[in-house]
Amino acid sequence: METIRVVQVDAFTDEPLTGNPAGVVPNADGLTTDQMQAIAGEMAVSETAFLRSSDAADRRIRYFTPTQEVDLCGHATIGSFAHLRDEGLEPGTTALETNVGVLEIEVEEDGTVWMTQDEPTIREVDVDYDRVADALGVDRAALEGASADLPLAVSSTGLPFLIVPITYLSDVGSAEPDMHAIEELTDAVDATGVYLFTFDALEGNSTLHGRMFAPGAGVPEDPVTGTASGAVGAYLDRFGAFDGDLPDELRLEQGHYVDRPGLVRVRLADGVQVGGRGVTVLDGSIAVPEADEDEILEA
């Protein structure tokens, strides 16, 4: 039976068993799409990254949830390069081919990984606050209280998210999402997930506290979400949340309500960059299922 190396990296943290766990297959050349999907299903984390050779960049990466392939994943990218740094990757800039194009990855001496995301696209959406409140299991008044300057909008730096501001941290923590309703809502606005956030953060030096729900992508609640963090950073800049005084770096808390606390760093001065650390917590091998003879191997 053929086996292949697989690791689990907790991303957006330097503490084991916190942050967002990602599966990483460091050498996935020769695996078919069905094999990668099967391995991701067995790993049963929100995303597993498969690193492959590339003719267009230094590496190619594909991401799979337990149920489907997704075009981009922030925490699995951070986790992959944190692991590669542990394995001897030199600090510096590298090019990564993804389904959304070639992205720039910067690895710092201390192991911090920075991922440059796509140019933002942001569009306001006309969705009734009652529908959003019912889907998230929050009070409509708490949503409207945060909506004076920050509208409901879909923001994307590679993946689209419905960005939903709310008044207090207690509102975020007490949310009781209806996953079926959230899936219908994201389908209606053409988004991958919903990012609920408040400026009422736990730590004084944090910018905000968020939660992200993407049941339609097979991720009911993601502990710490890099792609959504880039999207919300671009959203805040677009709607003038900082009164023209853009901070050098945003610090986004997430994961505390699923006992996986983590921190995402976001920079906006030179495009959207998402950064964080990662720690390898499992290292082993997994059996590779037999390939479907009808599927053509990706080169």
Evaluate whether 153 touches 191 at the Cβ level (below 8 Å). no
Q: Is 140 helix (H, G, I), strand (E, B) or coil?
A: helix
Strand-pairing partners, residue 275, are: 114, 265
What CA–CA distance (Å, rounded) separates 227 from 276? 12
Question: Which of 2, 15, 42, 47 does the annotation list as catalytic?
Answer: 47
- CA proximity to 80, closest of 187, 8, 186, 17: 8
Please give the structure tokens belonging to residue 166: 């709310």
- Catalytic residue check, 47: yes
- CA proximity to 157, closest of 68, 281, 299, 271: 271
Residue 207 phi, psi dihedral angles, 5° rounding: -80, -45
Residue with tokens 């960049």: 57
- CA proximity to 282, closest of 30, 42, 33, 105: 42
What CA–CA distance (Å, rounded) separates 90 from 147? 45
What CA–CA distance (Å, rounded) separates 9 from 291? 26
Question: Which residues form the catalytic set?
Answer: 47
